[in-house]
Amino acid sequence: MGQIKQGRVWTYAYIMVVVFVMGGHETELALKKSAAISIRKNSKSTLAFEATKHFQSGSLVGIKVVESTESGLQSKRSYIYFNLDVRTIMVAGRSPSSIFALHVYYTWTIDKKTNKKGNTKILRVDTMGHISAWTCTYMMVVVVLFIGSVTAAPPKKPVAVPFGKNYMPTWAFDHIKYFNGSVTAAPPKKPVAVPFGKNYMPTWAFDHIKYFNGGSEIQLLLDKYTGTGFQSKGSYLFGHFSMQIKMVPGDSAGTVTAFYLASQNAEHDEIDFEFLGNRTGQPYILQTNVFTGGKGDREQRIYLWFDPTKEFHSYSILWNLHQIVFFVDDIPIRVFKNSKHLGVRFPFNQPMKLYSSLWNADDWATRGGLEKTDWSKGPFVASYKDFHIDGCQSSVNAKYCATQGKHWWDQKQFRDLDDRQWRRLKWVRRKMTIYNYCTDRKRFPKMPHECKRDRDA
């Protein structure tokens, strides 16, 4: 354990209960956990929650191992003493070279409390539980190693609780599947794919819009003469708005692909997605902004964790009286809460139309305007499909939604992000954010009021 010194000494020990399973590259391990061991609250985590599903309200969890990566989970908190009980159904059929592990990691915190004889007493021992599955290069056999003490009576019967109460994913989140319901508040409803013409109409340069598959897919073209764009037929006060976009491929420096909501008044409200092109091989930058009462200057910029030019990806906005949430493939990348009580205006009484456009902005879009559009690479093409609108349609001059409170997005579970969504957003902020106005002290010597409420700082 090491030499005991004055004050606090940290040493480490391990207790492992490991089961090596002969598993294959395409395996799933189902775990049913008890409430006996808890999970560390502030763990670092990776992304890819999107393939995560719950069953039995999260009491049954599947861990998936594929060729590209493995997965695991851990307790949210640390404990001194505990009863650990996890029930597993191992992979069926052939499963060579995979491993399922259940282990308890001890962090020993030793505080010196010395008696007259000079003996030191251990005041606290913290533990943390981990469960994981991975692949190895050799065939393994079942190995069980347990270190513990003998007791006079068996532990209390475990109480089965959902996964999300005590546990959280640690890495490769898309390789964990959840069965029989969701543990937390519901995400936005799944968008309904409809043709372009149902909800939208061209606004300018009509000949630079191409239609495919009966209007279920379109392309916007930008050349040295003009860009193009379209808008929604109706105006909306609150709702859920989504479309799938494949960005301009190759050398797209100087171009901007925009998807946003905006009102028509002088003190207008606006909710922006702007995708800033870049030189070949450099990542796209996604910029978001929120205007309220004509005031913007709330830019945030992130790198995407995928190449948005290879496949279609979903970009959506949830807007209700309590919050505005920006989603990329159902992963929240930004939230803007209603902070009216802090003196911050919030879009609530100006109906907005939806717009999208592809245009040249080489005076600012790429490296602050240093990289200009290379027209020899044109025409530049952005592709769109799944033109989903589920909103409260209102006249341009309306001040409120006539059916306010009756829509799914008005319900209590959509007034805030749930714990899982906050963890996703935290990951985006920590790993993908390259600019956040909330932390820019040159522009804002005093942090804007809404930043703490939005957990941006």
Active site residue 450: no
Fold of 196-453: Jelly Rolls (2.60.120)
Residues contacting 122, CB < 8 A, separation 6+: 108, 110, 111
Closest by alpha carbon to 59, among 189, 134, 190, 158?
A: 158
Average pLDDT, the chain: 76
* pLDDT number for residue 8: 36
7 falls in which pLDDT band (50, 70, 90)?
very low
* Max mean pLDDT range (9-13, 127-131, 402-406): 402-406
Show the CA angle centred on residue 381, arms to residues 379 and 383, nearest 5°.
165
Strand order in the sheet with 200-204: 200-204, 228-232, 353-360, 255-262, 270-276, 285-291, 300-303, 433-436
Active site residue 274: yes
The average pLDDT across 103-111 equals 51
Show the CA angle centred on residue 195, arms to residues 190 and 197, nearest 5°.
130
pTM above 0.75, yes or no: no
* pLDDT number for residue 94: 66
The average pLDDT across 267-293 equals 94
Structure tokens at 25: 């590259």
The average pLDDT across 412-426 equals 94
Write the pLDDT tens digit of every residue in 179-201. 654 434 557 778 888 899 999 99
Write the pLDDT tens digit of every residue in 46-70. 333 433 444 454 556 666 665 555 5
Closest by alpha carbon to 300, among 127, 425, 198?
A: 425
Lowest mean pLDDT: which of 161-165, 245-249, 331-335? 161-165
- End-to-end alpha carbon distance in the chain: 40
Closest by alpha carbon to 347, among 400, 415, 388?
A: 400
**H, E, C per residue of 386-448:** EEEEEEEEECCCCCCCCCCCCCHHHCHHHCCCCHHHHHHHHHHHHHCEEEEHHHCCCCCCCCC
Q: Under DSSP, is residue 181 helix (H, G, I), strand (E, B) or coil? A: coil
H/E run at residue 231: strand 228-232
Active-site annotation holder among 274, 299, 371, 450: 274
The average pLDDT across 355-363 equals 96
Residue given tokens 């190693």 in the structure block? 145
* pLDDT number for residue 398: 86
* pLDDT number for residue 297: 95
Residues contacting 181, CB < 8 A, separation 6+: 54, 55, 56, 57, 58
As a 3-state breakdown, the chain gives helix, strand, coil percent values, each rounded to 5, of 10, 40, 45
Structure tokens at 83: 């009863």
User: Amino acid identity of 337?
Assistant: K
Lowest mean pLDDT: which of 35-49, 387-401, 404-418? 35-49
Q: Under DSSP, is residue 19 helix (H, G, I), strand (E, B) or coil? A: strand
How far is Cα of residue 219 from the mean position of the Cα atoms in its chain?
A: 28
Dmax over Cα atoms in the chain, in whole Å? 92
- Give the integer Cα–Cα distance in Å for 140 and 113: 45
Residues of the chain with CATH 2.60.120.200: 196-453
* Whether 194 contacts 185, CB under 8 Å: no
Active-site annotation holder among 270, 299, 311, 371: 270
Residues contacting 156, CB < 8 A, separation 6+: 83
